[in-house]
Amino acid sequence: MSCSCKEDRCEEKNEKRIAIARITASAVLLVIAMIVPSEGIIKAQLYIIPYLIIGYDVIWAALKNIAHLKMLDEEFLMTIATIGAFAIGEYPEAVAVMLFFQIGELIEDLAQGRSRRSIAAIMNIRPDYANIVSGGEVRKVAPSEVHIGDIIEVRPGEKIPLDGQIIEGSTSVDTQAITGESIPRDMATGDQVSNGTVNISGLIRVKVSSEFAQSTVSRILDLVENSSEKKARTENFITRFSHWYTPSVVIGAVLLCIIPPLASGQAWSTWISRALVFLAVSCPCALVISVPLTFFSGIGGASKEGILIKGSSYLETLSRITTAVFDKTGTLTDGKLAVTAIHPNQVTEAQLLDLAAAAESYSVHPIAASIIRAHKGHIDRSRIGEVEEIAGMGLSAVIDGKTIYVGNGKLMDRIGAAWHECHRSGTVIHLSTETEYLGHIVVSDSIKPEASKAIAELKKQGVKKTVMLSGDLRKSALQVAQSLGIDETKAELLPDDKVTAVESLLGPGQTIAFIGDGINDAPVLMRSDIGIAMGAMGSDAAIEAADVVLMDDNLEKTALAVKIARKTMSIARQNIVFALGVKAAILALGAMGIAGLWAAVFGDVGVMLIAVLNSLRAMRK
């Protein structure tokens, strides 16, 4: 942590200590003033001392605002209300209003500080230095001094300072600060690592792939720091409302103070007292403070789970989604070919896979690679003779002295094998000798294990419709959609077709969320009401195009993001209804002379405290 950060933290603590000391001293002196018997000027002086101790800064702020023609703020209202209370002899009430106002301010600062620390905790992922390897030596430099292509060394326990690829060594990496996942990931040569993560066990050397300003951490911090700029409609409403509400109440208080005494001849002190209640309760603090704090807490709570929401406007939109549209490859599926079925004929599964792996062992085709990965065992190439590629069909290979044909149905027809279609979707690899059909292997893009649960969770959250978009053949796409319980499937789509498909779903009362991998889905992410990027660690396209970024590849966090958004909006609505309801009741009771300044204190400070504490619930998962 930098010196300036430490100084800011110390200054903040000192301010809180001073505030607590003032509140304590003022409260003690108020009690003494209420206990000590006194009359007239002596009694007023006993109350003026705690009043000035607790309220001098509020009065000074009100005077400065008046000098700058900025009135009708909370300092002005508190000053007028309390001075008015002194003028009509309600000394204890005057001190109490200012005292509880300051208590409310302190608790507000504590609540906002807690929420800020929740989000600012990710500031700790910013690396302090990098160990650059140059000329056979390792020297410590600032991360900003390292360039693309440089080699850096990361020792156990150190933060990885820049994005890059491991070129030497292996280790376990703690990615919790970026992805929210607590289980470390094993990394080896060839794997990509992101800055801000922590090297746990082994010494590694990394070839840098991005400048520090464009690194994962820098983009995350930029997102968090700017998230408050995009206000939700609810926040904008509260801002507009407070601009009209406070002046209206002040005008009402003036009219309440003047008209009844003139019209009925009643005592001025009675109606001045009621007008002061109006002023004391009129501050819209509970709304102006608690609603933005609710959104801030919701965004902070989401960030702790590895979910980055770019602003409260996106949080509000996310809470209203009615339709979730998914890209298939890389989102619902792993995006990597894998053996998903082995159907032998006259041989065992192991024998069929062994023959296929041996025949494909010289190929670099992705299908061949998936078969070799599934085989896992050692392939003895000494048993493999001549291998011949057959264009558009497959290959033939001499294995253990027998010619084995590996390929599609056309190859089987060519050699006269008695093959048959497979009921499973995917790419089917058939194997046969010249006289005997041996069976087939299905290679396809495997479904993510958490995909089905994620779809179910979204529906539980109230998402009415789920749609899958895919460029694959309709048969393959339908099988994936049916296995996951997706309501509608659009297959064989080009990138432009996906945009058209999303546009066809847009309409009145519909809020469309598109969930994609963020690399080739940028146009659709931007066209939907809310774009959610999956697996976006290190992806510029995802962070730029999406409104919500999931920092790992866990599809279940889509439902968690919706849950957090809906909980946040529910808390914001609770605060609005509660604050307006209580204030309206106290305003009405104050006008009738039933509620006094003590009720006004609760209507302002008490309601604000309850609303602020309620707002902090949005930080909890």
Domain end call among 446, 463, 481? 446
pLDDT one-digit tens code per residue, 291-340: 777 888 888 888 888 888 887 888 989 999 999 999 888 788 887 788 98
Which one from 327, 445, 517, 529 is the annotated catalytic residue? 327
Which range of residues forms the domain containing residue 182? 128-161+163-209
Confidence of residue 39 (pLDDT cuts 50, 70, 90): confident
307 vs 550: CA distance, rounded Å? 5
Q: What is the pLDDT of residue 1?
A: 41
pLDDT one-digit tens code per residue, 396-445: 999 999 999 999 888 999 999 999 988 887 788 999 998 899 999 998 88
Q: What is the pLDDT of residue 243?
A: 65
86 vs 97: CA distance, rounded Å? 11
Pair of tokens at residue 392: 């558009």
Q: Is residue 139 part of a domain?
A: yes
Instruction: Please report, rounded to a whole number, the percentage of residues in the chain having pLDDT higher than 70.
Output: 84
255 DSSP 8-state letter = H
Report the chain's mean pLDDT, rounded to a whole number. Answer: 81
Contact 410, 395 (CB under 8 A): no
Q: Please state which of the ranges 24-33, 183-192, 319-328, 352-361 shows the lowest mean pLDDT.
A: 183-192
Q: What is the pLDDT of residue 111?
A: 59
Using the structure block, give the residue that is written with the tokens 């499937």: 489
pLDDT (mean) for 147-164 = 91
Contact 144, 162 (CB under 8 A): no
Q: What is the pLDDT of residue 448?
A: 87
pLDDT (mean) for 262-276 = 79
pLDDT one-digit tens code per residue, 96-119: 778 877 876 776 666 556 555 555
Domain end call among 446, 473, 499? 446
CB-side exposure of 346: number of CA atoms within 13 Å? 10
Contact 108, 613 (CB under 8 A): no
Active site residue 553: no
pLDDT at 526 over 90: no
Q: What is the pLDDT of residue 5?
A: 45
How many domains does the chain contain in total? 2
Q: Is residue 343 part of a domain?
A: yes
Task: Check which CATH number belongs to the domain holding 132 and give it.
Answer: 2.70.150.10
Q: Is residue 202 part of a domain?
A: yes
Q: What is the pLDDT of residue 405?
A: 95
Q: Is residue 389 part of a domain?
A: yes
pLDDT (mean) for 140-148 = 90
Q: Is residue 200 part of a domain?
A: yes
Parallel/antiparallel/unpaired status of strands 198-199 and 171-174: antiparallel
Instruction: Please report, rounded to a whole number, the percentage of residues in the chain having pLDDT higher than 90.
Output: 24
Higher pLDDT, 111 or 381: 381
pLDDT at 166 over 90: yes
Q: Is residue 134 part of a domain?
A: yes
Higher pLDDT, 200 or 96: 200
pLDDT at 187 over 60: yes
pLDDT (mean) for 559-566 = 93
Residue type, 2: S
pLDDT at 4 over 50: no
Contact 354, 380 (CB under 8 A): no
pLDDT one-digit tens code per residue, 563-580: 999 999 999 899 888 888
Closest by Cα among 235, 9, 234, 285 to 120: 9
Q: Is residue 487 part of a domain?
A: no
pLDDT (mean) for 34-46 = 81
Task: Check which CATH number belongs to the domain holding 343 and give it.
Answer: 3.40.1110.10
Q: What is the pLDDT of residue 42?
A: 81
Please report which helix (H) or strand (E) contains residue 477, including its range.
helix 474-484
pLDDT at 2 over 50: no
531 DSSP 8-state letter = E
Q: Is residue 432 part of a domain?
A: yes
Domain end call among 392, 424, 446? 446
CB-side exposure of 458: number of CA atoms within 13 Å? 31
Q: What is the pLDDT of residue 148?
A: 92
